[in-house]
Chains A and B, each alone.
Chain A
Amino acid sequence: MRYFCNILLIASLLLLILQPVYLQSYKPFSAILLTNGFNVADLDSLQATGTNRQIFSNLEGLKLKNHQAQYIPDFFYLNRKFPLLDSLIILGNGVPESSLSAVKQDYVHFIGSEPPEGIVDLRYNTEIALTDTLQISMTYNKPVEGKHLLKLGSDEGIAFDSIIVEGMGEQMVKLKTLPRVPGRLTYRLTVENETGDLLTSEIFPVVVNDIQQMQILIVNSFPTFELKHLKNWLERKGNGLAMRHQISKDKYRYEFINRQKASLSLLDKELLRQFDVLMIDAGSLSSLSKRERNNIRNTISDTGLGLLILGDGQLENQVTVRRVREFYSGLQLKSVGHDQITSNEFGTETPMILYNWPFEIVGSWNADVLINANGNYVAKQHLGLGMVGINLISKSYHLLLEGKTREYSLLWSKILNEVSRREQKQNYWNEASVLAFVNEPLELQLTSNESRPIGIAENSAGLDYKFYLQEDVHIPQLFHGKIWPDSTGWLRINTEKDSMDHKWVFIQSDTAWLDLRLARQLYHNRLLGNRAQQSLVRQEVPNDKMKKVPISNWWFFIVFVMAAGTLWLEPKL
């Protein structure tokens, strides 16, 4: 007896913990969810198909003539109250994006309203450097005839760029401007019709980062005019330079500009770590000792140092080419009979005329062409964490002498920016979408070396609060977080331990960018609708479905009490 009661006791306790279920068949039902902007005609036609569907709506106070709609505040409520709901047809503008994750139904169809008039898609870099061009790409939907003027400008009405949209339908539009100052800037995008009426006026924010100068090390066999002009230009831009020219056998000239002196006689790792780019001509690279070449290679690979190999006559020598291949693997050079090339790389008014060494780089799968001039004369490829570039342009300083400073700047900025070391931030923040709104979720992504970073968000009033991040399942150092900003204006986001690497996000009011947000909502609802496994024509819901029904814990509890009671009572009897 006691033995039997013990078994019952333990079993009931286990079952209480394990919570067993049993399968039960049920007949699921389908429903229609009415959202903002739904078409009554669609509802009527759906109900006329004969299938009995319950009607829900998230519109408070909705009254329909021929139908009865039950109000539900959100999807979470719907799932709780109607767990047997399997098929859902959504009419109108759909459910908000934040609620989409709550949609558990297997069969969802979305019959959405027409895309709104206005900006339905927007893409631009929310964070750019001071010398970059702010380029905004957007899709503008104009369902009516007539011309609309899109203007990019400031709050005070100063216009930077504009474009006229004609025709009907969705059109890709691009606007651009050059920011003049670094900082947190807000631009205004306005849309006017032909009569000058203002249709839309929206703010979009940009963070323009000030630029930080580079440290460049130049080693070459002999002084050249090309490097002299390059050096002067880099100096005017405030970059730090260290140069070593060989002027004779074992005789060098060392120049240090905007930085302290260093010993350049031996290129060791400590020295190379101080620089972002090493510019060296092929001849000098070939004549370096094996140890120095290894130092350079390891520094590029481990720390991301950039190497730019400048072409010279020594490239005819196979030994030199072999030595260059230690850095730029698979390098193949082709002799060419001309020494002048033209390039339209930067879209200047007239093609840029440059002079080249009599070689051309043969393309390879792992190399990127930097300057396209009817041939490959400047290219780069990865080497570990760093970049190695080859520059076969022998002369470009004539552009400066001809007064084409901008072309010269474009050329060398591109080459150096592509090859130079990338600074690694301790914490790197990223937001999921270009625009953020008050009281709407803002998804953030953090790449951090901290083990358990805690986020701090500070609004424009100086109030801050903490938020917590979840580490990515697959990628360590990647964290995800979500916050709901409660005030408009600039929001500063950083980790608790590091306030240097921060991110600025501009929170807009909930009445801003209505067209864009509606378009996005329609898009995401359509994606959701594509999960439907059967069409509306056939019967979308199977006749019988099995569901898991948990066995009530009370049974186990009663058994547990009885067994325990018996064990207690039995000695007394």
Chain B
Amino acid sequence: MDHKETIQRLRTKWIRQSVGSFVLVLTGITLLCLLLINIWLPDDMHIVLVTVGIVFILATGLFYYRRQRRHITPINTARFINRNYEYLEESTELLLANETQLSLLEKLQRRRIAGRFQTIHSELRTPNVLKRSMAIFMLCLLMSVVLWFVILNNKLEHSNADASIGTEQSTREGDQTSWNKLPSIKRAMLTIRPPAYTRIKEHKTDDLHIKAPIGSMLFWEIEFTESIKSANLQLHNGNNIALVQRSKSNTYLASLELKAQGFYQLIFTSENDSIKQSDYYKMELINDTDPEIMVKDMPLFLRLDHDSLEMIKLSALISDDYGIRHARIIATVSKGSGESVKFREQKLNFDQSFANERSIQVTRDLSFKALGMEPGDELYFFLEAFDNRAPNPNRGRTEMYFIALKDTAEYVTIADGGLGVDLMPDYFRSQRQIIIDTEKLIADKHKISREEFKQRSNALGYDQKMLRLKYGQYLGEEAESGIAIDDAAEAQEETHDEAEETPDEHHHEHEEHSEQTDPDQENNEDELLAAYIHAHDTEEEFTYHAESIKQKLRKALAIMWDSELHLRLFDPNSALPYEYDALDLIKEIRMHARIYVQRIGFEPPPLKPHEKRLSGDLDEIQNLNTLSASEREEIFPYLKTTLLILEDLGNDHFKVTSEQQIILQKAGQELASEALKTPGKYLKTLMYLKQLSDNSIERNEVPEALKTIKNACLEIIPDNQPEPFMQHQNMDTLLRTYLKFLEENSN
């Protein structure tokens, strides 16, 4: 047998075994490393990773093989044999050499060990590292399998949590080795308990967006897949509500009373201090509105005769969103006028009772007598209702309603602008009332008894007399007068017309009185007396009005006397024409007293500002100096800066610096204040803004995030108003020269 061949075979085997063991160990370690690298890479990189691994193993194996071929030479193999087999006497290399080239001694030695070699050639073994390599490989394989299952589990949990509740992000920087072991939310339940008075039942929902009446109690129940360190609800106003763990379980509870609308977010910290945040959820408020009251068939202002109605029926519909607890009428009666007016307020309840109904029809009769009202009094009232909100009920009320009872002695107000002063006394206005009463008496003639008819007619006659006497006082007549006075008044008027030239002058005309010769004997007494007494109350000296007014007034008195006559004779039908005539005359008197003059404007003297101005003594007046500073009004400054930051960001580069983070956070606050006004509108924008500022945004979400934030900024930031500002100009020597030339030549 060729010993050389044997040694060669041994060498080949040795090379194979060493390369094999190397490749086994390398494969195991590579597998482990690739699995670890796979944690940070996305799933679509698997194939790349595997390819890289295979190529790496093959290349390294090939390299190692070549190295071993160079290293494990036949001589080295022979030396290896020498080391392991002593009785070959360190001469195995001789078997490799060409016999013809050996010396005699070497040939002898060669023959000597050839036989020995023959005996041991079947026992020759290479260094056995394969077993050890296999063990290492198996160990690496086992570790890889364990690691593989852990990763797989983590990914499954990840996808389950994403399906049930928003997006979870790890915001802790530097803590990247344990992201795949973070806990997630298994179940979330929200219980909404509206206030008791709303009578809305408590209900549970797994939708964390809230829309509930104000004052509702909210209870969250969040169950996590693993134990966590802490969990909080972060509200829009920065307040944090800590979730409380339920007795050593992974369930956490929190409660809150809904008082304001806004939005909130769930933030929890895992055992390894990684922080996760959920999406934003809105909190929308349903306000409890005031009760509404609708009064039926009641005008705001009602003027009634004193005996036309004794009561009015008030009817109203009261409604509320949750229930009405109580309603009433607040009535105020006013008596008198001027400085002696008195008010008395009363609270009146409705006939119906309220049992927290949402809508109820109420009625109430308002009796004037019960309210203590008399002719001339006024009633002001309004309705108010309270709903069943606790603790502070809402109140609704109506407009103020006015009911006025006409006075019997009331006269028509005259707006007599010409005179400026209303010379007519108040009692001039009752002639119309007498007419009304007379007409009423005529109308009631058949309804009432004879006695009553006569009584009322006599009373009207008396009223007419009193009116006549009061008018007569203007003409200087005494309080009590009769027919005689009236005649005397007419006679005196005739003589007065002839004698008097200036009717407005007040002078004694005793001579005229004395010169008058009245054939009527009744007047002689007055004439005799007139000579000795000062008759200041006679019509000649009466000079308040022009003569025609006096005539008319006298005529009116005479007609009133006729009217009184017929009324006292229980003949109101005959008295009525006289009453109308008297009224017409009185109206004429009023109209007659009006003076129509052209309005003359007040013409002030002309001003001379140039002469007068700046001519005063100003020694004590100091110059005034004021210094102030105000900041230029800037609207949404951080949102504007955010727009600029977004210009620089893109799909490839979306990491922000620390300065930009601060700006984005402040922009988030500005955006939050706008989001409060319209709950639910900018929640997604807020989420993206927060992710961008924390540098926790996923690459595939960047385009959508940039678009959403930019859209929101452009919606919120108003257009810039035009304003004056410093302009820039490129002024070179040529232009300067030209402008100077223009200036010189224009002069």
Contact = CB atoms under 8 A, between A and B. Distances in A.
A424 B726 contact: no
Contacts of B719: 178, 180
Nearest to A180: B717
A477 B743 contact: no
A450 B742 CA distance: 27
Contacts of A384: 739-740, 743
B615 A249 contact: yes
Interface string A27-63: 0000000000000000000000000000000000000
14 contacts: A130-B720, A154-B710, A156-B707, A178-B719, A181-B643, A236-B632, A249-B615, A255-B627, A385-B731, A406-B721, A409-B721, A423-B728, A424-B728, A447-B730
Nearest to A186: B647
A410 B623 contact: no
Interface in A224-247: 234-239, 247
A248 B609 CA distance: 12
B624 interface: yes
B630 A236 contact: yes
B616 to A, nearest CB: 7
A413 B724 contact: yes
B721 A424 contact: no
Contact of B724 (A237, A256, A447, A477): A237
Kindly list the 5 A-B residue pairs having the minimum CB-CB distance in the complex, ordered from nearest.
A238-B632, A249-B614, A422-B729, A211-B725, A156-B707
B630 A257 contact: yes
Nearest to B719: A178
A366 interface: yes
A162 to B, nearest CB: 15
A561 interface: no
Contacts of B627: 255-257, 261
A475 B628 contact: no
A186 B643 CA distance: 12
A211 B616 CA distance: 46
Contact of B623 (A213, A254, A382, A475): A254
Contacts of B732: 447, 475-478
Contacts of B720: 130-131, 178-180
Contacts of A409: 721-723
A442 to B, nearest CB: 19
B730 A236 contact: no
A259 to B, nearest CB: 8
Given A366-B746, A422-B731, A423-B729, A236 B633 contact: yes
Given A236-B632, A255-B626, A406-B721, A424 B729 contact: yes
B714 A158 contact: yes
Interface of A: 129-131, 154, 156-158, 178-181, 183-186, 211-214, 234-239, 247-258, 261, 276, 301, 329-330, 366, 382-385, 405-406, 409-410, 412-414, 416-417, 420-425, 428, 430, 447, 475-478
Given A181-B641, A254-B626, A248 B618 contact: yes
B643 A213 contact: no
A248 B614 contact: yes
B630 A211 contact: no
B707 A157 contact: yes
Nearest to A476: B733
Given A156-B711, A253-B624, A131 B743 contact: no
Contacts of A405: 721
Given A251-B623, A256-B627, A214 B726 contact: yes
Contacts of B628: 235, 255-258
Interface in B575-619: 614-616, 618
A406 B618 CA distance: 42
B727 interface: yes
Nearest to B715: A158
With a 10 A CB-CB cut-off, give which of B616, B625, B726, B728 has the most chain A CB atoms: B726
Interface string B619-663: 001111111111111000000110110010000000000000000
B499 interface: no
Given A131-B723, A185-B647, A156 B703 contact: yes
A528 B641 CA distance: 48
Given A385-B736, A424-B729, 12 more contacts: A131-B720, A131-B721, A131-B723, A214-B726, A235-B630, A248-B616, A248-B621, A255-B625, A257-B628, A413-B724, A428-B728, A477-B732
A384 B740 CA distance: 5
Interface in B539-591: none
A423 B706 contact: no
B337 interface: no
Contact of B618 (A178, A250, A276, A301): A250
Contacts of A421: 726-727
Nearest to A130: B720
B747 interface: yes
A214 B727 CA distance: 9
B734 interface: yes
A394 B628 CA distance: 27
Interface in B348-362: none
Contacts of B728: 422-425, 428
Contacts of B625: 253-256, 261
A420 B724 contact: yes
Contacts of A213: 632, 725-726
A383 B743 contact: yes
A475 B643 contact: no
Contacts of A129: 725
Contacts of B710: 154, 156, 158
A382 B641 contact: no
Contact of B714 (A180, A185, A382): A180
B709 to A, nearest CB: 9
B746 A428 contact: no
Given A178-B719, A181-B643, A329-B747, A158 B711 contact: yes
Contact of B731 (A158, A420, A424): A424
Contacts of A236: 630, 632-633
Among B614, B622, B711, B725, max chain A CB count under 10 A is at B725
Contact of A420 (B632, B633, B727, B730): B727
Contact of B643 (A178, A180, A413, A422): A180
A380 to B, nearest CB: 13
A385 B726 contact: no
A239 to B, nearest CB: 7
A136 to B, nearest CB: 18
B724 A423 contact: no
B626 A237 contact: no
A247 B613 CA distance: 10
Contacts of A428: 728, 730
B726 A237 contact: no
A421 B739 CA distance: 14
B722 A131 contact: yes
A413 B707 contact: no
A421 B724 CA distance: 11
Contact of A212 (B641, B725, B731, B734): B725
A248 B746 CA distance: 38
Given A154-B710, A330-B746, A382-B742, A237 B647 contact: no
A203 to B, nearest CB: 12
Contacts of A276: 726
Interface string B380-422: 0000000000000000000000000000000000000000000
A253 B622 CA distance: 9
Interface in B168-183: none
B690 to A, nearest CB: 19
Interface string B296-318: 00000000000000000000000
A248 B729 CA distance: 41
Contacts of B740: 301, 384-385
Taking each of A180, A184, A425, A476, which has the highest tally of chain B beta carbons within 10 Å of its own beta carbon?
A180
A246 B717 CA distance: 42
A554 B631 CA distance: 82
Contacts of B633: 236-238
Nearest to A383: B743
